[in-house]
């Protein structure tokens, strides 16, 4: 990490200081926060220019843009934090369009009084995630709201990438007969966060699966399989994502419960809290829908990648005017996997 | 997960299903009521109806304590938070039940009322201790499974001399509700009951004896997992074929004839029988609910805050009543799936995931669509 | 209100509670409703309380029942309540 230029009388007290209103006011204090914290951590020539915008090179091909806000609570959890989550999430949304993510923008809404030590932890986590993914954070914004008006920090990230030539992935492209693949276990992220919030001790703790998936996506695009849709099942879980796609494409789905993998602690935590893993958020998994004859090939390509060792074929697209997502249960019966109603209230009864 | 996964084994399900199919061929129809909302949910979630022959029909009973709460009871809770500014602690299921003035506890919360979701009565006590300057009310609902935890909390509150803790008591009783069901045409519409799992761990299997001796209906107490339910259905089919009416226990790993005497004693110490109580769908049922004993009257929120019960009629088009009695199916309700959905529930059967309507809508409505 | 899960008691706490474990998840629950619970026992847990001990022999017996084949035309004896 490059040391920030000493233009300021005193360096920021990142160990014990707190966010103040002046940090968002556009004056010297804000410039210092940006220089000594954000720019120092994200460390790239775009930010070093000190401009409000980043001048980017020509892109050859169709642009893809995506945007995501992050309000997760708690801010820090096993396997990640709001920082790396915000980087991975937007990289993944761009990648799901069949595009190579190239640049990120990050905007912060900070609450007055938020500890700078925590902010540094978050920013360094973002920097690390961006560096590892090879996608720089080239521009951003900071605002501060009065104490009590914001829950610590909210982060919004925007990503830009270039779609691979000849590839158009879209939720309305699924066709009856297509295969549905899932890249791994479900429910890890949501239960990592929730078990922490609800004081369920897990030993070892459930770890969020937050990860950048653009490398895995490249493997899928290179596999030669005819892909229709890629999507990552985040809020609302696998159920939400599949229902969205079914509606967009005007098709139904038939899933097989025994093919959907859930880690035992996640299953157990769901039992304790009365939740269904199908509705729990994931941050490092994807759903891929492809032509039926390419399913095996795609599965092997997935399993060859470290983030998708437990990939499986979980079902198929069927004709259905009602666009139901149905599932054969492990008992051999059938049920719908419906849209989430409201917020998932844990069952007591 | 031990004692869970083994009871969800698909191969064994196939075996029991084959047994049921073989033995249910003996009669033209078996109409079985699963009393407990948890069983309703399990049947829908695992698609057990697909494993039963067409002549075995499961009728969903009123064993969903959220579903049977009349609107007026929820209005009391709303009045407590909005007019008396209490912290209302509630189990999650009650949060979205529609009450008067187009409100739910969830909406009241969005409007600034202090409604907090808890998993345990211990959480409610904790909140009371942490907020000595505020009044904390625990919304106590549930059948006999959930009553002992409330009894523990009330006793603890008295021991600690907590001045700011009280309960809004809506605990109800299973045998009374079963009597009410069977008093409809003498139970002509039903051939047998699948008895509740966890209620029975507390009350034991003995309280069900009158249903077999007086009404001549077989009862099989079933465990909570799908294989338990299927085995209990098989045992009921057998009783009906044999012309027997007995109380049998499939859930022997957790249910004994006497149940849990310690839990029963705690409940008896803290609660007494209300003379009568209004149930959604069943009307007024005698001896079907509990109230705090006079020694514990200080913990009664109804008395402390002077919130009286005012009966409110259900929405005109809502068929929750008939559905709770097992007379109609969710899909027979005019507004099922249209005006009334889990996102926009009109009646309580659609709110709780144990409600017949919610279970059918969320898991099973593809069956009508297929026809 | 019915949702309850079977969990194994790992140990007892000073406060008269137990730490139970299911599938790697641990939770502290109250033993106010059940006597004679020891580490290693399985209990049925409901809204933060142990409701009853689980009888492991009976659990095995019930599982064995699931595998039985029906004898055609022969009514079988059912277990007593």
Which structure tokens are listed for A44? Answer: 């790239």
User: Which residue does chain B place closest to A349, by CA atoms?
Assistant: B38
pLDDT at B368 over 90: no
Q: How confident is the model at residue A5 (pLDDT cuts 50, 70, 90)?
A: low
Between CA A125 and CA A42 the distance in angstroms is 10
Of A329, A338, A341, the CB nearest to B46: A329
A135, A101 Cβ separation under 8 angstroms: yes
Report in angstroms the alpha-carbon separations of C68 from A332, B16, B52, C17.
19, 8, 17, 39
Between CA B40 and CA B62 the distance in angstroms is 10
Q: Chain B closest CA to C35's CA: distance in Å?
A: 8
pLDDT of residue B97: 86
* Chain C environment of B6 (Cβ under 8 Å): 63
With CB atoms and an 8 Å threshold, state whether A338 touches B95. no
Sorted by where each begins, the domain ranges of chain B are 1-364
Residues 47-76 of C with CB under 8 A from B: 47-49, 51-56, 58-59, 61-63, 65-70, 72, 75-76
pLDDT of residue A7: 67
Which run of H or E residues covers position B276? strand B276-279
Whether the complex's predicted ipTM surpasses the cut of 0.85: yes
Mean pLDDT in chain A?
A: 92
pLDDT at B19 over 70: yes
pLDDT in tens, A204-226: 789 999 999 999 999 999 999 99
C25 interfaces chain B, CB cutoff of 8 Å:
no
With CB atoms and an 8 Å threshold, state whether B363 touches A330. no
pLDDT of residue A54: 95
Torsion of CA A67, A69, A70, A71, to 10 degrees: -170
pLDDT of residue A208: 96
A339, A278 Cβ separation under 8 angstroms: no
- Burial class from Cβ neighbours inside 10 Å (0-12, 13-18, 19+) for residue A18 reads middle
* Chain A environment of B1 (Cβ under 8 Å): 264, 267-268, 271
Q: Chain C closest CA to B369's CA: distance in Å?
A: 30
Residue in B303, B237, B255 with CA at minimum distance from that of residue B29: B237
Give B1-364's CATH code, choosing from 3.90.1150.10, 3.40.50.11740, 3.20.20.370, 3.30.1330.10: 3.40.50.11740
- The residues near A346 (Cβ < 8 Å, ≥ 6 apart) are A273, A274, A275, B92, B119
Mean pLDDT calculated for residue range B218-239: 97
Q: Chain A closest CA to B52's CA: distance in Å?
A: 10
Of A200, A264, A348, the CB nearest to C27: A200
Between CA B348 and CA B279 the distance in angstroms is 12
Q: Chain A closest CA to C66's CA: distance in Å?
A: 13
pLDDT of residue C80: 46
Of C44, C78, C79, the CB nearest to B201: C44
A222 interfaces chain B, CB cutoff of 8 Å:
no
Of C1, C2, C22, the CB nearest to A272: C22
Q: Chain A closest CA to C5's CA: distance in Å?
A: 7
Mean pLDDT calculated for residue range C35-45: 96
Which run of H or E residues covers position B115? strand B115-117
Which run of H or E residues covers position A155? strand A153-163
Q: How confident is the model at residue A238 (pLDDT cuts 50, 70, 90)?
A: very high
Which residue did the predictor score with more confidence, A349 or A149?
A149
Domain assignment present for residue C31? The answer is: yes
pLDDT of residue C75: 45
Report in angstroms the alpha-carbon separations of B114 from A221, B43, B81, B134, B167.
51, 35, 6, 11, 15
Tell the residue number behind the tokens 């032509």, with chain if given: A291
Q: What angle do CA A129, A133, A138 make, to 5 degrees?
A: 75
pLDDT of residue A1: 47
pLDDT of residue C71: 66
pLDDT of residue A192: 93
Q: How confident is the model at residue A10 (pLDDT cuts 50, 70, 90)?
A: confident
pLDDT of residue B257: 97
Domain assignment present for residue C53? The answer is: yes
* Chain C environment of B251 (Cβ under 8 Å): 62
Tell the residue number behind the tokens 């499974």, with chain if given: B145
Of B224, B239, B250, the CB nearest to C62: B250
CATH number at residue C32: 2.30.30.140
Between CA A265 and CA A261 the distance in angstroms is 12
Q: Chain A closest CA to B159's CA: distance in Å?
A: 26
User: Which residue does chain B place closest to A336, by CA atoms?
Assistant: B363
* Chain B environment of C78 (Cβ under 8 Å): 235, 238-239, 246, 248
User: Which residue does chain C place closest to A263, by CA atoms?
Assistant: C23
pLDDT at A69 over 50: yes
Q: How confident is the model at residue B232 (pLDDT cuts 50, 70, 90)?
A: very high
Please count the structural domains in chain C. 1
Domain assignment present for residue C73? The answer is: no
pLDDT in tens, A73-124: 889 999 999 999 999 999 999 999 999 999 999 999 999 999 999 999 999 9
pLDDT of residue A200: 73
User: Which residue does chain C place closest to A271, by CA atoms?
Assistant: C5
pLDDT at A346 over 60: no
* Chain A environment of B363 (Cβ under 8 Å): 335-336, 338
Instruction: Identify the DSSP state of C53.
Output: E
Domain assignment present for residue C24? The answer is: yes
pLDDT of residue A3: 52
Question: Which residues are paired to B221 by β-bridges?
Answer: B195, B249
Q: Chain C closest CA to A81's CA: distance in Å?
A: 22
pLDDT in tens, B201-219: 999 999 999 999 999 999 9
Q: Chain B closest CA to C39's CA: distance in Å?
A: 16
Of A258, A324, A333, the CB nearest to B51: A333
Among residues of chain B, what percentage have pLDDT more than 70?
99
Mean pLDDT calculated for residue range A294-301: 98
Residue in C2, C44, C37, C3 with CA at minimum distance from that of residue C17: C37
Mean pLDDT calculated for residue range A131-145: 96
Domain region containing C34: 5-66
With CB atoms and an 8 Å threshold, state whether A345 touches B92. yes
Which structure tokens are listed for B129? Answer: 């201790």
* Chain B environment of A334 (Cβ under 8 Å): 47, 50, 366
Residue A219 φ then ψ, to 5° = -60, -40
pLDDT in tens, A11-28: 889 999 999 999 988 888
pTM (2 decimals)?
0.90
Which residue did the predictor score with more confidence, A346 or B98?
B98
Report in angstroms the alpha-carbon separations of A269 from A201, A250, A310, B328, C8.
10, 34, 20, 36, 14
How many CB atoms neighbour CB B324 within 10 A?
27
Mean pLDDT in chain B?
A: 93
Residue in B368, B362, B366 with CA at minimum distance from that of residue B44: B362
* Chain C environment of A272 (Cβ under 8 Å): 5, 22, 25, 27
* Residue C32 half-sphere exposure toward CB, CA atoms < 13 A: 25
Residue A128 φ then ψ, to 5° = -65, -45
Tell the residue number behind the tokens 């009065």, with chain if given: A146
Range in A285-289, B256-260, C24-28 the model is least confident about? C24-28
Between CA A156 and CA A13 the distance in angstroms is 25
pLDDT of residue B59: 92
- The residues near C17 (Cβ < 8 Å, ≥ 6 apart) are C28, C29, C30, C31
pLDDT of residue C46: 93
A265 interfaces chain C, CB cutoff of 8 Å:
yes
Question: What domains lie within chain A, and their CATH numbers?
Answer: 21-163 (3.30.1330.10), 179-336 (3.90.650.10)
User: Which of B7, B8, B10 has the most A C-beta neighbours within 10 Å, making it the best mutation to test the interface with A?
Assistant: B10
Between CA B15 and CA B234 the distance in angstroms is 11
Q: Chain C closest CA to A283's CA: distance in Å?
A: 21
* Chain A environment of C22 (Cβ under 8 Å): 268, 271-272
pLDDT at A255 over 80: yes
Range in A191-205, A240-254, B21-35, B198-212 the model is least confident about? A191-205
- The residues near B130 (Cβ < 8 Å, ≥ 6 apart) are none
Residue in A225, A182, A188, A224 with CA at minimum distance from that of residue A206: A188
Rg (chain B; Cα; Å): 21
With CB atoms and an 8 Å threshold, state whether C66 touches B205. no
Residue in B215, B181, B237, B253 with CA at minimum distance from that of residue B36: B181
Residue in B141, B123, B119 with CA at minimum distance from that of residue B131: B123
pLDDT of residue A8: 75
pLDDT of residue A86: 97
């Amino acid at each position: 990490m490059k040391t920030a230029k000493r233009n300021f009388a005193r360096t920021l007290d990142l160990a014990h200081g707190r966010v103040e209103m002046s940090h968002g006011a556009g004056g010297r204090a804000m410039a210092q926060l940006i220089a000594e914290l954000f720019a120092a951590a994200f460390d790239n020539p775009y930010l070093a220019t000190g401009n409000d915008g980043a001048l980017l090179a020509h892109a050859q091909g169709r642009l893809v843009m995506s945007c995501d806000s992050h309000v997760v609570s708690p801010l820090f959890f096993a396997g990640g934090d709001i920082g790396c989550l915000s980087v991975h999430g937007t990289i993944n949304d761009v990648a799901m369009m069949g595009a190579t993510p190239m640049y990120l923008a990050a905007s912060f809404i900070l609450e007055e009084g938020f500890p700078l030590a925590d902010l540094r932890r978050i920013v360094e986590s973002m920097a690390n995630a961006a560096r590892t993914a090879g996608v720089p954070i080239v521009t951003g914004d900071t605002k501060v709201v009065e104490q009590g008006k914001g829950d610590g920090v909210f982060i919004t990230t925007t990503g830009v990438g270039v779609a691979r030539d000849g590839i158009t992935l879209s939720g309305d492209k699924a066709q009856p007969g297509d295969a549905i693949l899932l890249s791994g276990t479900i429910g890890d992220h949501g239960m990592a966060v929730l078990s922490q919030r609800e004081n369920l001790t897990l030993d070892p703790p459930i770890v969020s699966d937050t990860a950048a998936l653009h490398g895995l996506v490249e493997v899928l695009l290179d596999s030669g399989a005819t892909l229709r849709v890629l999507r990552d099942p985040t809020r609302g879980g696998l159920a939400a994502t599949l229902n969205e796609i079914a509606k967009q494409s005007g098709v139904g789905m038939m899933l097989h419960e025994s093919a959907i993998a859930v880690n035992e602690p996640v299953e157990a935590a769901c039992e304790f809290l009365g939740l269904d893993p199908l509705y729990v958020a994931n941050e490092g998994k994807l759903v891929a829908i492809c032509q039926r004859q390419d399913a095996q090939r795609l599965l092997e390509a997935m399993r060859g990648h470290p983030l998708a060792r437990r990939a499986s074929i979980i079902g198929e697209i069927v004709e259905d005017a009602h666009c139901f997502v149905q599932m054969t249960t492990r008992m051999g019966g059938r049920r719908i996997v419906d849209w989430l109603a409201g917020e998932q209230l844990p069952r007591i009864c | 997960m031990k004692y869970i996964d083994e009871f969800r084994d698909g191969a064994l399900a196939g075996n029991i299903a084959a047994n049921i199919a073989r033995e249910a061929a003996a009669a033209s129809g078996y109409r079985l009521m699963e009393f407990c909302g948890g069983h309703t949910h399990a049947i829908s979630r695992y698609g057990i109806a697909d494993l039963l022959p067409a002549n075995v029909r499961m009728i969903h009973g009123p064993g969903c304590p959220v579903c049977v709460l009349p609107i007026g009871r929820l209005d009391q809770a709303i009045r407590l938070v909005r007019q008396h500014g209490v912290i209302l602690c509630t189990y999650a299921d009650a949060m979205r039940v529609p009450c008067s003035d187009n409100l739910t506890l969830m909406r009241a919360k969005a409007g600034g009322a202090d409604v907090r979701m808890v998993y345990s009565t211990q959480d409610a006590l904790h909140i009371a201790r942490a907020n000595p300057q505020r009044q904390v009310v625990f919304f106590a609902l549930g059948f006999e499974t959930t009553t002992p935890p409330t009894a523990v909390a009330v006793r603890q509150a008295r021991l600690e001399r907590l001045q700011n803790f009280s309960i809004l008591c809506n605990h109800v009783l299973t045998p009374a509700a079963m009597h009410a069901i069977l008093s409809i045409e003498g139970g002509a519409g039903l051939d047998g009951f699948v008895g509740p799992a966890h209620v029975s761990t507390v009350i034991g299997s003995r309280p069900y004896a009158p249903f077999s001796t007086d009404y001549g209906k077989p009862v099989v107490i079933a465990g909570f997992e799908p294989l338990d339910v299927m085995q209990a259905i098989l045992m009921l089919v057998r009783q009906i074929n044999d012309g027997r009416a007995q109380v049998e226990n499939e859930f022997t790993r957790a249910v004994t004839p006497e149940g849990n005497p310690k839990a029963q004693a705690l409940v008896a110490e803290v609660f007494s029988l209300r003379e009568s109580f209004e149930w959604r769908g069943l009307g007024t049922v005698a001896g079907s609910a509990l109230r705090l004993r006079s020694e514990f009257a200080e913990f009664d929120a109804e008395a402390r805050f002077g919130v009286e019960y005012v009966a409110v009629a259900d929405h005109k088009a809502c068929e929750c009543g008939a559905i709770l009695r097992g007379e109609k199916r969710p899909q027979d309700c005019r507004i099922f799936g249209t005006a009334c959905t889990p996102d926009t529930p009109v009646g309580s059967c659609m709110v709780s995931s144990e409600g017949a309507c919610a279970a059918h809508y969320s898991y099973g409505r593809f069956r009508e669509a297929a026809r | 209100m019915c949702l309850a899960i079977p969990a194994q008691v790992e140990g007892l706490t000073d406060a008269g509670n137990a730490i139970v474990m299911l599938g790697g998840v641990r939770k502290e629950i109250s033993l106010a409703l059940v006597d004679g619970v020891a580490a290693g026992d399985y209990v049925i847990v409901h809204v933060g309380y142990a409701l009853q001990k689980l009888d492991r022999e009976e659990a095995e017996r019930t599982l064995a029942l699931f595998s039985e084949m029906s004898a055609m035309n022969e009514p079988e004896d059912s277990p007593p309540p």
